[in-house]
């Protein structure tokens, strides 16, 4: 399919206002990038789920492209692959059920992955049958009379409130049978989405003890409102959610209802590879100071259908930015910088950053611990590149280098204005920062008064993010992507050729401590 046909397809399925300003003719390099994105996110790659044949095909494709671009293997045993072994547990749709039984004997079945879900754990029971109680934000002081009960909590994600891990700890200590977190519909910077692709937990198969604990479930807000209306002793569920969104006090009460849940699980063991390559440096004195370029290759694969589509292609998350690594490698054609540059397409980012965690903890001879990480994720070229939100901007001298490159391009650099989304810790640079390596990652920013950019950004999160609709029909601003490539390639060159390696800033809360 030609680029022009892709654009036509995008315009056929998306809003006309977006199509009117999408770049009509990408330059040759950006067109090649989009063809590579198409190859990696095509149906034959099956969404690149970790451990799947589709992921393995994608990894082989990336390794071949790296080799053809003149990069040397940097994986295990002089290959392009770093093998990682995983185990996972999944709650299956067949046989799993959730039912609320009210005091009058009426029941309501809850739709798995569309109204309710669970975080699987190897220690989870096959069945829960327990009374439901509401305990507000579920801090320790609110956990009264919950032993043997299913504790329902307002699922806050806001700084200063009781977050998920603390809620689980409090419920466990109080003897609860399970914890249910209700969606915070007021968290509009990243609104809750249903359905979920699946309910799966992945961890390393390294012999470490498996985590145990009470089941943790997630409940859609409309179900909570109905539950309160039918069994909440006169409380108003919508008002509770509104008060929680405002951070106001929440009363505790018991429902006149029970939750009966049955879980059918499947466990698997498998291997999946990071794809690692290196562009050797030209200065022997800097041979042990590589710069790491990283993007995640994995996606979601097959999952719950949305509008009849059950294949989560993952075009922009993150096939497009593995394609950026390939595009850069092609542009260099084996011509190195002073420092070596490692190219890493990693696995299992969507399952907990496991590929980057493994690489950070197990550097290879060809891909040793880097002096800087330039991460590619969360990018969405949906509108012109005028603002570049930079994660890690104020943590190291890399922030100033970003400004030095972006400024002459007319691009404003700014820190993350939505820190409560916790994006800094949700993508693949974070395991390296935890080990003391300066890093940055990027998002296309926009001003709130830019209504068109704002609409495209929000539409992406509401309709395409982690959904089958993240595919080639997404309207792309090809000029914005070309501008980002120019920035990212120049940034890599600046860091790889600099006399001094990046340094942590003394006031960074993330800098390594003595």
Structure tokens at 448: 């709130």
pLDDT digits (tens, 9 = 90+) for 260-301: 999 999 999 999 999 999 999 999 999 999 999 999 999 999
pLDDT over 80 at 356, yes or no: yes
Strands (E), 280-317: 291-296, 301-306, 309-312
Q: How confident is the model at residue 17 (pLDDT cuts 50, 70, 90)?
A: very low
Residues 126 and 210 in one domain: yes
Strands (E), 20-80: 72-73
Q: What confidence score (pLDDT) does residue 16 get? A: 29
Q: How large is the average pLDDT for residues 340-352?
A: 98
Return the CATH number at 171.
3.50.30.30
pLDDT over 70 at 198, yes or no: yes
Q: Is residue 394 part of a domain?
A: yes
Indicate the number of domains in the chain: 2
Residues 310 and 340 in one domain: yes
Residues 150 and 253 in one domain: yes
Produce one character per residue of 95-116: b if its CB has 16 or more CB atoms within 10 Å, e if not: ebebebbeeeeeeeebbbbebb
Q: What confidence score (pLDDT) does residue 8 get? A: 44
Question: Which is nearest to 14 in space by CA: 491, 460, 465?
Answer: 460
**Residues spanned by the domain of 130:** 93-263
Residues 108 and 17 in one domain: no
Q: Is residue 476 part of a domain?
A: yes
Q: How confident is the model at residue 514 (pLDDT cuts 50, 70, 90)?
A: low
Q: What confidence score (pLDDT) does residue 21 get? A: 38
Return the CATH number at 416.
3.40.630.10
Residues 303 and 245 in one domain: no
Q: How large is the average pLDDT for residues 49-68?
A: 98
Question: Which is nearest to 402 in space by CA: 316, 333, 498?
Answer: 498
DSSP sequence for 262-325? E--EEEEEEEEEEEEEEE--S-GGGTT--EEEEEE--B-EEEEEETTEEEE--IIIIIHHHHHH
CB–CB of 267/279 below 8 Å? no
* Cβ neighbours, 10 Å, residue 316: 24
Q: How confident is the model at residue 420 (pLDDT cuts 50, 70, 90)?
A: confident
Q: How large is the average pLDDT for residues 50-61?
A: 98
Residues 278 and 316 in one domain: yes
Q: How many residues does the chain have?
A: 514
Bond preceding residue 404 cis, omega within 30 of 0: no
pLDDT over 80 at 488, yes or no: yes
Residues 76 and 162 in one domain: no
Residues 310 and 175 in one domain: no
């Amino acid at each position: 399919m030609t680029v022009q046909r892709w654009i036509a397809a995008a315009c056929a399925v998306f809003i006309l206002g977006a199509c009117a300003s999408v770049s009509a003719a990408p330059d040759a390099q950006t067109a090649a990038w989009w063809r590579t994105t198409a190859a990696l996110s095509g149906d034959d790659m099956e969404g690149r789920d970790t451990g799947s044949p589709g992921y393995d095909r994608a990894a082989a494709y990336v390794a071949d492209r790296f080799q053809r671009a003149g990069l040397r293997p940097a994986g295990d045993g002089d290959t392009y692959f770093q093998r990682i072994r995983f185990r996972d547990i999944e709650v299956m749709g067949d046989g799993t059920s959730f039912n609320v039984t009210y005091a009058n004997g009426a029941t309501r079945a809850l739709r798995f992955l569309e109204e309710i879900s669970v975080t699987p754990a190897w220690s989870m029971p096959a069945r829960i049958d327990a009374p439901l109680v509401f305990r507000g934000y579920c801090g320790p002081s609110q956990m009264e009379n919950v032993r043997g009960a299913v504790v329902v909590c307002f699922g806050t994600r806001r700084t200063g409130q009781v977050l998920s891990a603390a809620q689980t700890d409090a419920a466990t200590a109080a003897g609860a049978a399970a914890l249910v977190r209700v969606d915070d519909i007021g968290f509009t910077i990243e609104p809750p989405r249903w359905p979920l692709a699946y309910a799966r937990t992945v961890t390393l198969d390294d012999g470490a003890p498996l985590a145990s604990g009470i089941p943790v479930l997630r409940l859609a807000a409309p179900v909570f409102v109905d539950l309160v209306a039918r069994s909440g002793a006169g409380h108003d569920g919508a008002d509770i959610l509104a008060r929680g969104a405002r951070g106001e006090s929440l009363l505790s009460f018991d429902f006149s209802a029970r939750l009966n849940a049955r879980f059918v699980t499947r466990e698997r063991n498998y291997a999946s590879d990071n794809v690692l390559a290196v562009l050797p440096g030209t200065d022997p004195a800097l041979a042990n100071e590589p710069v790491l370029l990283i993007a995640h290759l994995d996606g979601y694969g097959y999952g719950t259908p949305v509008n009849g589509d059950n294949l989560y292609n993952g075009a922009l998350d993150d096939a497009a930015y593995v394609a950026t690594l390939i595009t850069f490698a092609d542009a260099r054609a084996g011509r190195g910088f002073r420092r070596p540059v490692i190219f890493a397409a990693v696995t299992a980012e969507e399952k907990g950053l496991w590929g980057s965690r493994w690489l950070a903890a197990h550097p290879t001879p060809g891909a040793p611990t880097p002096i800087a990480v330039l991460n590619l994720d969360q990018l969405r070229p949906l509108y012109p590149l005028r603002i570049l939100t930079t994660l890690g901007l104020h943590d190291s001298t890399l922030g100033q280098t970003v400004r030095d490159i972006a400024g002459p391009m007319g691009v404003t650099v700014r820190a993350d204005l939505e820190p409560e989304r916790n994006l800094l810790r949700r993508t693949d640079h974070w395991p390296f920062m935890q080990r003391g390596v300066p890093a940055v990652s990027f998002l296309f920013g926009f001003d709130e008064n830019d209504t068109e950019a704002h609409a495209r950004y929000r539409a992406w999160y509401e309709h395409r993010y982690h959904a089958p609709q993240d595919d080639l029909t997404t309207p792309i601003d090809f000029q914005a992507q070309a501008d980002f490539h120019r920035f990212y390639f120049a940034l890599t060159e600046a860091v790889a050729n600099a006399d001094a390696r990046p340094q942590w800033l003394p006031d960074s809360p993330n800098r390594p401590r003595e």
